[in-house]
Structure 1
């Protein structure tokens, strides 16, 4: 039987792998498998899909990479929790592969998503989230206290990312929050470039953050959207300026 598996042609292997992926997806959609459920044993699953062991394993491996399945040593393969952050993690991989020349496109998409996210957050944010956002901005203030116009620190970039991610999560839409976090965590170089090349950018960014926070405190969704749009548009314009100024260079490393 092993000879049969090893003789699969690449084209046939690909098509059988697709059968496995679609088959497992259908089992989850139909409710036959749910979050935390263990997959049937390999022999039974292969028979159900009419495939051999090689394509079956390839299909399972692909779904593991996509966050749909997970393996437990000595226990088998299980359906994951299927939460949005896990299932949308490949978006971050896609963003990582984008070239510097596409940074403006990513920033534009981020702006569209975050403007909507902050609008949701304005009507749903609680005091706990507001306290977290306040503490994040205070941390940034302390990091910048000695040289507000100097090189931006990695700690500031990390805090900036936490600020935006916290707002996205506060809106209560886990899919939107996962998309925003994938973009925020991977577009930090835009923030870095702005800080390096625009005098007063650190102070301006903090002022923009505080305006967003104040709109959230008031529960003013329209104002929050306007402030977020203005803030991210400034970053987006910096990226466009960067691309025009450095057409043959990659983005600066953080």
Structure 2
């Protein structure tokens, strides 16, 4: 184990052992280095690594603190991992997304608040207006699409699932844009699928919500082999 790894492991043990919690300030550099048995240079390297991972937050002139340890923050680096795999391995990530969002939809059917249900309705109405315009604003439709999925995942009540969905779903935007531009009726099908999911959520029918979400994402997933490597990015 390298000295940097020793720092990472030492801080991890301090957190999991309850000595440090979210928002707590780490001991001063000299004291912490002595406690972990590493040089101050190695300590800094370890702190930098933990900062990248979202575990620590270094504030200039104030010290280093444990973050909120929110799953969304800790898993944000997963988006980088997804991007590194490039276009050739997109389908496995989509399959994971389908599994996660299918379960999230089922959970949300029993937990979704009236406010969130109304918010989802507003997003769907916005998407419908976008489709009715000519020419269709495809990036705007994708934005509404993403927001609908975010609401459903969030209402599932499992922050880990929500964080994973957030990390993986962003990777699908390029494919969804390509579908909207080149596959006739794709966005209309997406809208119908979202409406069906919404109705299941409104009825509190968990099984229907799972089935509708799974069918929707499987339709998206099956389009992936058709998307060329030079397809435009949704942000363009």
| TM-score for both structures, normalised by structure 1 | 0.89
8 Å CA contact 1:107, 1:187 repeated in 2:
yes
Unaligned runs of 5+ in 2: none
- Give the alignment of 1:36-115 within 5 angstroms: 36-115=23-102
Distance 1:115 1:250 in 2: 30
2:189 paired with 1:204: yes
From 136, 143, 146, give the equivalent of 1:158: 143
8 Å CA contact 2:138, 2:180 repeated in 1:
no
What does residue 173 of structure 1 align with?
158
1:253 deviates by 2.3
1:16 deviates by 0.5
Runs of 4+ deviating beyond 6 Å: none
Unaligned runs of 5+ in 1: 1-13
2:97 paired with 1:117: no
8 Å CA contact 1:28, 1:34 repeated in 2:
yes
Distance 1:152 1:103 in 2: 25
What does residue 222 of structure 1 align with?
207
1:206-230 per-position Cα deviation (integer Å, ceiling 9, x unaligned): 0011000000001111111110011
- For the pair shown, the structure with the greater C-alpha radius of gyration is 1
8 Å CA contact 2:138, 2:181 repeated in 1:
no
2:130 paired with 1:143: yes
From 153, 163, 179, give the equivalent of 1:194: 179
Distance 1:70 1:108 in 2: 33
Secondary structure of the equivalent of 1:77? strand
Distance 1:75 1:19 in 2: 24
What does residue 117 of structure 2 align with?
130
What does residue 7 of structure 1 align with?
none
| TM-score for both structures, normalised by structure 2 | 0.95
1:153 deviates by 2.2
RMSD: 1.3
1:152 deviates by 4.8
Distance 1:141 1:211 in 2: 14
Distance 1:98 1:193 in 2: 19
8 Å CA contact 1:33, 1:79 repeated in 2:
yes
1:142 deviates by 1.5
2:233 paired with 1:253: yes
Distance 1:34 1:192 in 2: 42
Distance 1:228 1:152 in 2: 24
1:158 deviates by 1.2
